[in-house]
Chains A and B, each alone.
Chain A
Amino acid sequence: DSGVTQTPKHLITATGQRVTLRCSPRSGDLSVYWYQQSLDQGLQFLIQYYNGEERAKGNILERFSAQQFPDLHSELNLSSLELGDSALYFCASSAQSDYEQYFGPGTRLTVT
């Protein structure tokens, strides 16, 4: 158990809908990262927050957004969902804005 928690574990929704994925980092970690894992694209970095501020953006679609709250938990919002958004979404955290990241169990999103 990494100490990173993610909810929900599974999510099934229809095209065009909007969902919110939630992540709580390890105790004391200030940095949160979001990654998407799909069969065709593999593991891809989406976005990083550090102590509430956005620090880095990767291959994140404009339909996706994220934020980190004062209690350091983070939410990833996915809107206007398409079939191709079906994937595993991982949250990771680290103590500072550094490279040693610990991953949560993931949220499996299925868009039908």
Chain B
Amino acid sequence: AQSVTQPDIHITVSEGASLELRCNYSYGATPYLFWYVQSPGQGLQLLLKYFSGDTLVQGIKGFEAEFKRSQSSFNLRKPSVHWSDAAEYFCAVGAREQAGTALIFGKGTTLSVSS
């Protein structure tokens, strides 16, 4: 069965420091992978996606992620974190369901930014 694991429930990073959020997936075929961000009281915003091709993908707000098939991972990175990056981050895998599609989400990682 498809699944996504985000090992870190909560991470605190100093403003200006680098960030890496971990994501591991389980999926039988070539995965479609996503990172979404959710600010308090808000919906989910798509940060970046991986469908195929270059394993390093760039997203919005200075985020990037690297797909590593051998490790079944899709970790999210940012070189310098800003206070406004504090939010909850969700990794997701796109799954074929019956005649349609669905996103299977991890439990999320809450990012706090300290000054």
Contacts and interface: CB of A to CB of B under 8 A. Distances in A.
A59 B49 CA distance: 24
Interface of B: 32, 34, 36, 42-46, 49, 51, 90, 94, 97-108
A2 B97 contact: no
Given A42-B107, A43-B90, A99-B32, A58 B102 contact: yes
Interface residues on A, range: 20 to 34
B94 A99 contact: yes
A64 interface: no
Given A42-B107, A45-B104, A57 B32 contact: no
Contacts of B44: 90, 92, 103
Interface in A20-53: 31, 33, 35, 42-45, 48, 50
Given A103-B36, A103-B45, A106-B43, A42 B102 contact: no
B100 A99 contact: no
B102 A48 contact: yes
Which of A2, A35, A43, A44 gathers most chain B CB within 10 Å? A43
Which of B44, B104, B107 gathers most chain A CB within 10 Å? B44
A27 B113 CA distance: 36
A52 to B, nearest CB: 13
Contact of B46 (A48, A57, A98, A102): A102
B98 A56 contact: yes
B107 A2 contact: no
A78 to B, nearest CB: 19
A48 B45 contact: no
A62 interface: no
Contact of A45 (B36, B43, B102): B102
